[in-house]
Amino acid sequence: MKRRRLRPHALRPLLLLLPFVVLPARSAPPLSLPGAGNEIRTCDLSTAISLALKNSRALADSRLQQQVARAVHRLACRQFFPSLEVGISRDDSVVYGSPDTRSRRLSLGMQQLLYDGGRTRASLKRRDREIALAGLNLEMESEELIFSVITVYTEILEFRQKKKIRQDSYQSALLQKRIAAEELRLGALTELEFLDFTIRLKDLELDLEETEQEERLLGFRFGRLLGLKAGVPPPVPAGRLNINYSGFLGEQDDRVWLDRALQRNADLRRAAFRLREQDELLRQAACGWLPDVRGSFTAFASGREYPLTEPGFEAGVELSFRLPVLPLQAAAEVGGTGSGERSLAASTSAGVMENLEELYSKKLASLQVNRAAGDLEELRTEIDFKIRELLFNIKSGKKRLQLLRERLESGNRQRVLQKLKLQLGEIKRIDFLDAELELAKRRIDLVDATVALYNSEVSLLRLCGRPGLAETHRYIVIPED
């Protein structure tokens, strides 16, 4: 049967009915929480960050470890004070052909480190730096968690915006397909042309389904970051993206950002901690020949029976040289009792082929210093490159946003003219649908560019150690209409 093609004026009754066609919106089922009925629980970014910091087990463990380390460090100061020792002894012996000996003794002794070449003080300073480094690591972990929450939050809003654009495109394509079906029935459209509408519609359904799946997967990741229990649906991020966003960082010289990063960047501060620690170890290795000097004093009372009536004392000094190959120990002691007995003793000993690792301690310490200094310099170079790259991305991102908005504005004006041409029959309906889909793609490109600019600016602040990352969301997240 031969099909006849209708003229444009025959389609005018159909075009007049377009404003009155109501189509159902396609959307994902709402999220709900147990015990909350059918209500959707939402949360803003500040609440999400607070909840993530509160429920993070890793941060809680780090805080507890830091508290324990501080308590242990306070106890380590005990090394500067003398150590006390209380002793009680009894010695009974039987000697054949002689009177038995009996000896009872009560003593109170004290030992004190007099000098160790600064090793104890350096050890305590090293612990101070370790505690400060642990605090810095805790700060970095918190910052990393905040950055992750901000990223996932904005990505969810991004996909929600994309889904809205694709839903609008889907509804428009569905409307055009229904009109095309009527044109096919009236013979104004071939079946091949009608299949083009079906293919476009299926492509849109696939894009919309993929967007919804990605949004849901991000929702699960969002709930995991917040520390929610398994099976508890994640809250819905409140607000929407500010499509008019053009950046919140003002124009500043590259050198300003580089100086801020050199002063505040957490990775650089951590590398500087390591370098200072290796410098201290090198100084200790260079002074390894200095001896440990310890003094001791003991007061005692002795006798054959209680109460003990014979007082006495012992005082001594001990020197220990940690020399390689032949480490030396030397000691001297004097003593006396109330009965007029006096004593003087001295001893010296040396190990043979001991402490051989001290031969290379200075070289190894120097190697570690050079390595730490090289790591610090390499990290500075890397951060310098990253900052320049981010500044370039921000500058080009702002320019790209401006061009995308201008292109979208031209596309909106073009759509009005194409719609008029469609009503006049000057273009095909499939061409009009393609133009609308292209316009939707431009809107999605604008959303992507907006989020990319915001992420670049937040990454720059994070790299420079600037506080207040959580407060930046007010520039890009605005309340729902």
Phi, psi of 178 (to 5 degrees): -65, -40
pLDDT at residue 2, rounded to an integer: 40
Question: What is the per-residue pLDDT across 289-321, written as a single tens digit (0 to 9) for each?
Answer: 778 888 888 888 887 778 877 888 888 888 888
Whether the full predicted model's pTM is greater than 0.75, yes or no, is: no
pLDDT over 90 at 453, yes or no: yes
List the structure tokens of 162: 């994309």
Question: What is the per-residue pLDDT across 96-126, written as a single tens digit (0 to 9) for each?
Answer: 766 667 788 888 888 888 877 777 787 888 8
Dihedral over Cα of 271, 277, 283, 288: its sign? negative
pLDDT over 90 at 131, yes or no: no
Q: Examine residue 215 and state whether it is found in any structural domain, yes or no.
A: yes
Q: Average pLDDT over the chain, rounded to whole?
A: 81
pLDDT at residue 181, rounded to an integer: 87
Q: Contact 223/232 with Cβ under 8 angstroms?
A: yes
% of the chain at pLDDT higher than 90? 13
Q: Where are the beta strands (DSSP E) in 284-398?
A: 292-303, 310-321, 328-337, 342-350
Report the alpha-carbon distance of residue 58 to residue 309 in Å, rounded: 63
Q: Contact 110/296 with Cβ under 8 angstroms?
A: yes
Domain that holds residue 362: 43-478
Q: What is the CATH number of the domain that holds 298?
A: 1.20.1600.10
Q: Examine residue 228 and state whether it is found in any structural domain, yes or no.
A: yes
Q: What is the mean pLDDT of the segment spanning 223-231? A: 85
Question: What is the per-residue pLDDT across 23-56, written as a single tens digit (0 to 9) for each?
Answer: 333 333 333 333 333 344 888 888 888 899 998 8
pLDDT at residue 481, rounded to an integer: 66
pLDDT at residue 98, rounded to an integer: 67
pLDDT over 90 at 259, yes or no: no
pLDDT at residue 99, rounded to an integer: 67
Domains contained in the chain, number = 1
**Local confidence band at 371 (pLDDT 50, 70, 90 cut-offs):** very high
Which of these, 151, 170, 172, lies nearest to 162 by C-alpha position? 170
Nearest 5 degrees, angle CA 197-CA 198-CA 199?
90
pLDDT over 80 at 288, yes or no: no
pLDDT at residue 313, rounded to an integer: 84
Q: Examine residue 75 and state whether it is found in any structural domain, yes or no.
A: yes
Q: Examine residue 28 and state whether it is found in any structural domain, yes or no.
A: no
pLDDT at residue 97, rounded to an integer: 67
Which of these, 415, 464, 469, lies nearest to 172 by C-alpha position? 415
Weakest-pLDDT range from 269-283, 365-379, 385-399: 269-283
Q: Examine residue 344 and state whether it is found in any structural domain, yes or no.
A: yes
Q: Contact 365/281 with Cβ under 8 angstroms?
A: yes
pLDDT at residue 468, rounded to an integer: 74
Q: What is the mean pLDDT of the segment spanning 447-472? A: 86
Q: Where are the beta strands (DSSP E) in 174-278?
A: 236-237, 240-241
Q: What is the mean pLDDT of the segment spanning 430-439? A: 87
Q: What is the mean pLDDT of the segment spanning 374-400? A: 92
Q: What is the mean pLDDT of the segment spanning 166-190? A: 85
Higher pLDDT, 92 or 224: 224
Question: What is the per-residue pLDDT across 208-223, written as a single tens digit (0 to 9) for each?
Answer: 888 888 888 888 889 8
pLDDT over 90 at 90, yes or no: no
Q: Examine residue 458 and state whether it is found in any structural domain, yes or no.
A: yes
Q: Examine residue 196 and state whether it is found in any structural domain, yes or no.
A: yes
Q: Examine residue 247 and state whether it is found in any structural domain, yes or no.
A: yes
% of the chain at pLDDT higher than 70? 90
Higher pLDDT, 404 or 134: 404
Which of these, 444, 421, 441, 440, lies nearest to 431 by C-alpha position? 421
Q: What is the mean pLDDT of the segment spanning 84-91? A: 85
Higher pLDDT, 77 or 448: 448
List the structure tokens of 14: 């159909």
CA distances from 115 to 123, 320, 468 (A): 14, 10, 48
